[in-house]
Amino acid sequence: MIQSTMSPYYAYVAFALLCTSYACYYNYCSRRRNDLVRLTSLDDIEHLLSPPVSLTAQLQSRALANARLKPAFGIDSTFVNGDLAAHGAFTRFAINLISPRNLPWSRLADIAKGTVTVQLCDRGSIPFDTLVRRLVMYVILVGLLEEYVDESAIAVDDIDLVTGGINELWALSKTSTYRPDLLEEVNMRLRCWLPNMTNPMEIIIPTYETMWRVVAVATALGHDNTQAIPLFSALLQQPTTERYRQCTDDSFSADAFMQEVLRLYPPTRRISRVVPVTTSSILSRFCPRLFTRYITFAADVEALQCDSLWANSRREFDPSRHHLQRSTEQQRKTLLAFGTGKLTCVAKNWAPQAAAIMVAAILDQVGAEKDFALEPGKAIGGREGWEGWFVQRRL
C-alpha cells in the first residue's frame, strides 16, 4: 500500500499557495486585458456615473481614476480625494464663487470687455489661443476670485507662463512624466496672485482648464457665423440669462450655440471611474480580495454626444438642433459635457453663459467690419492645435 508522506498541514499550505498563484496570475492577465473599458451607450454611461452606491464610494472611484493629476498638479481636491468632507467643502466653495452675489453677469461682461481691449490695444497681431487664455485667466482671477486676488501682482508674461505651464503639465500627466520644476514655476505665480489661498491650483484647474477651450472653440465657430454674431452682440449689451436663452423662430439662442459647441467639442471628452470587479467563483468566496481587480471605465462623452440618435447630420455644427421643438428628450439626455449623477459639475448652468459672455467680448472687437480680423488656422484646436490662428489688426 502506498502511503502519502504529506501531512494535512502541508497539503493546506500547498493548496493555499496554488490558489494565491492562480489568483495573482488571473489578476495579472485580466489587468492586461482590461486596462481600460470605454463605454459609449447612454445606459452604460449613466450606470457608471450614477451608480447605486454611496457618495463616498463614488468619490473614491473618481479619485482613483484621476490619481495621475495629484502629483502632476500637486493637488488634493475632491477630484483626486475620496473624502466626503473635502467634497462638501470644495463644492460649496465653488458654488459660492459662481453665485451672482459674488460675480454679477454685468461685472463679468465689463471685466471681459476691458481685458480684450487691453490685450488688443497697440498690437498688430496676437496668436488667437494666447488672447483667449489671457482673457479667461484674467476673468477668473479678477472676477471669480476677486476676494482673494492681488491684482497688482498679475503680469501678462506670467499669465502666459502659467497657462502654457498648465497645458504642458496636463499633457505630461497622460504620459506619467512629472515636471516638479515647471509645477513650482507655475505655483510661484499663482501664490503671488492669490496670496491667501493654501493651494490656488486646486480652484484654477476646474475653473480655467475647461473654460478657455470652450471660449476658444465657440469664438472660432462664431466669428463668421452671421446668425450668431448679432446674438453675441446683444448678449454683451445685456448679459442676462433671459437674453442668453432668448431665441426667435427663425434663429437659435446663444445658449443653443454654446450647447452645440459643448456637444461637438466637449472639453472633458471622457469621464473615468475605477471600479472594483470581483469574479464569482468558489475560490473568490473564500478570499474575494485576491479575485478582485480594479478596472478603469471611461464614459466616452464625445462619442455619445455624436450618437446616431442625432441623425445623419450629427457631425455637423448646427445650433438650431437644440431648439426645444426640434430635439427629443432622448437626445437631450445624451448631452453630458458636465457629467451626470451626484458628481455633476456645479457650474453646469453657469459655465456656458459665462463662456458666451467672454466670446461676445472678443467678437465685439474681432470680426467683419471690426478693427481686428480672426485669421483661421487649418482646423479647430483643443488644448493644442491652434497654430496658424491669429487675431490681426486690419490695415
In the complex, the residues that contact ligand HEM under the rule CB under 6 A are 49, 62, 78, 87, 90-91, 94, 97-98, 206-207, 210-211, 214, 267-268, 271, 337-339, 343, 345-347, 351, 355
Per the structure block, which three cell numbers stand in for 41? 451607450
* Residue of minimal Cβ distance to ligand HEM: 345
Nearer to ligand HEM, 23 or 133 (CB): 133
To ligand HEM, the closest distance from the beta carbon of 312 in angstroms equals 26
Phi, psi values for residue 287, rounded to 5°: -140, 75
Compute how many other C-beta atoms are within 10 angstroms of the C-beta atom of residue 226.
7
To ligand HEM, the closest distance from the beta carbon of 151 in angstroms equals 20
Per the structure block, which three cell numbers stand in for 141? 482671477
Compute how many other C-beta atoms are within 10 angstroms of the C-beta atom of residue 356.
28
To ligand HEM, the closest distance from the beta carbon of 199 in angstroms equals 15
Radius of gyration of the chain (CA): 25
To ligand HEM, the closest distance from the beta carbon of 332 in angstroms equals 16
Nearer to ligand HEM, 67 or 311 (CB): 67
Nearer to ligand HEM, 267 or 381 (CB): 267
- The label of the residue with cell 421643438 reads 325
To ligand HEM, the closest distance from the beta carbon of 214 in angstroms equals 4
Nearer to ligand HEM, 302 or 372 (CB): 302
To ligand HEM, the closest distance from the beta carbon of 267 in angstroms equals 5
Nearer to ligand HEM, 97 or 247 (CB): 97
To ligand HEM, the closest distance from the beta carbon of 29 in angstroms equals 29
Nearer to ligand HEM, 200 or 339 (CB): 339
Nearer to ligand HEM, 21 or 99 (CB): 99
Pairing, β 292-300 against β 372-375: unpaired
